[in-house]
Amino acid sequence: MKIGIVCYPTFGGSGVVATELGLELSKRGHEIHFITYNQPVRLELISNNVHYHEVTVPEYPLFHYQPYELALSSKLVDMVKLHGIEILHVHYAIPHAYAAYMAKKMLQEEGILVPIVTTLHGTDITLVGSHPFYKPAVTFSINKSDAVTTVSKSLKEDTLRLFDIKNKISVVSNFIDLEKYNHAFTDCQRGMMAQDNEKIITHISNLRPVKRVQDVISIFYKIQKEIPAKLMFIGEGPEKEQVELRCQELGILNKVVFFGKSNEIDKILCFSDLFLLPSQTESFGLVALEAMASGVPVISSNTGGLPEVNIHGSSGFLSDVGDVDDMTKNALYILSDEDRLKTFKANARKEALKFDLHAIVPKYEAIYQDTLSKCFVL
């Protein structure tokens, strides 16, 4: 199949899923066209059947806001015509599903039929999409998609609760390339980061309020009072400065390593003992799955799709949002006994196996086939 993929090219989970999906589909013989405003961060390989088409929005002084949706839908029209793209898979409803629908209508005028698969990722539904300013357009574009998927059962429920949805929604969870995270622990450069007696705790996010990064600091502060530990803090975002200030106030700056954005999280996770994800909401928690695939147990909140990924008492523990005392207690329980830590690490990897990309990517292929056959029957 010739598949057009529209996504955010940044470090966010939706862009990562879209990119990894496109790369895997290309390995399975499909021709993939990424259409977005920058080369996706994890798209390192442009091969024969992976293409990248940049959407540019020329600056015009009259416009207070430059019209990205317009430029994207025009680019979609051009690329579908030029490359014979058969189906468009758009990741994140805003504004991608909307722009794709416009492109579809324009193409229909020329007798070209291109169905749209929309994957909802989380904040496009739970935080941004349900805002009254966007809600009518988001509802419309979900209902006008030819197929709709969510990345967890929980996100499907949220979508049905928050929007008036007439379309069927299929759940296709986030997935992981287990090979990439299959380091023998001896490969890791743990010694560069911490002393042998120190436990390594990691957090990765875009440091937005929804990630509750101050909770990460509170939990780590309490942990390091009980056992020697270091915190690896990966990501950039609006809360970073506050986090640094708080670490300074608490006198733990020397125990926290700030990495900024990283394309090598597998290498950092490789030497981690525990992962913290105390988010306010999380439709799935791809980063928790990445940690688990590296054999790192997860201490998370019990919100959204996280209970579908992090299994309480097996791969880690779940607590109510904001309950930093419970999260600390659970973290210390895992970290304070070497045999127990080993068991949680093994369980984390085992639970991650359920999300093997080889099992999940065919579900998207089946949705494309089904959507194409339905469209061309109509």
Q: Both tokens of residue 330? A: 């659970």
Number of residues lying near ligand GMT (CB under 6 A): 20
- Least Å from the CB of residue 125 to ligand GMT: 8
9 part of the interface to ligand GMT, by CB under 6 A? no
For 35, 74, 107, 168, the CA distances from 53, given in Å and listed in that order, are 5, 12, 18, 30
Amino acid of residue 371: T
CB 348 within 8 A of CB 292: yes
151 part of the interface to ligand GMT, by CB under 6 A? yes
The residue among 198 and 236 lying less far from ligand GMT, judged by its C-beta, is 236
188-247 residues in contact with ligand GMT (CB under 6 A) are 206, 208, 210
Helix (H, G, I), strand (E, B) or coil at 127: coil
* Residue range at the interface with ligand GMT (CB under 6 A); choices 57-65, 241-249, 252-260, 276-284: 276-284
Phi, psi of 321 (to 5 degrees): -55, 130
295 part of the interface to ligand GMT, by CB under 6 A? no
Sheet holding 298-301, edge to edge: 256-260, 229-234, 199-204, 274-277, 298-301, 316-319
- Least Å from the CB of residue 171 to ligand GMT: 12
- Least Å from the CB of residue 208 to ligand GMT: 6
Query: Quick one: 238 exposed, middle or buried, by C-beta within 10 A (0-12, 13-18, 19+)?
Result: exposed
Among 282, 290, 308, 351, binds ligand GMT (CB under 6 A): 282
Query: Distance (Å, rounded) from C-alpha 324 to C-alpha 225?
Result: 14
174 part of the interface to ligand GMT, by CB under 6 A? yes
- Least Å from the CB of residue 225 to ligand GMT: 29
Helix (H, G, I), strand (E, B) or coil at 69: helix
Helix (H, G, I), strand (E, B) or coil at 347: helix
Q: Both tokens of residue 25? A: 């589909």
- Least Å from the CB of residue 260 to ligand GMT: 17
* Residue range at the interface with ligand GMT (CB under 6 A); choices 69-77, 119-127, 133-141, 213-221: 119-127
169 part of the interface to ligand GMT, by CB under 6 A? no
* Residue range at the interface with ligand GMT (CB under 6 A); choices 11-19, 23-31, 45-53, 212-220: 11-19
Among 26, 141, 283, 315, binds ligand GMT (CB under 6 A): 283
How many other C-beta atoms are found inside a 10 Å radius of the C-beta of residue 196?
7
Instruction: By CB under 6 A, name the binding residues for ligand GMT.
Output: 12-15, 17, 92, 121-123, 151, 174, 206, 208, 210, 281-286
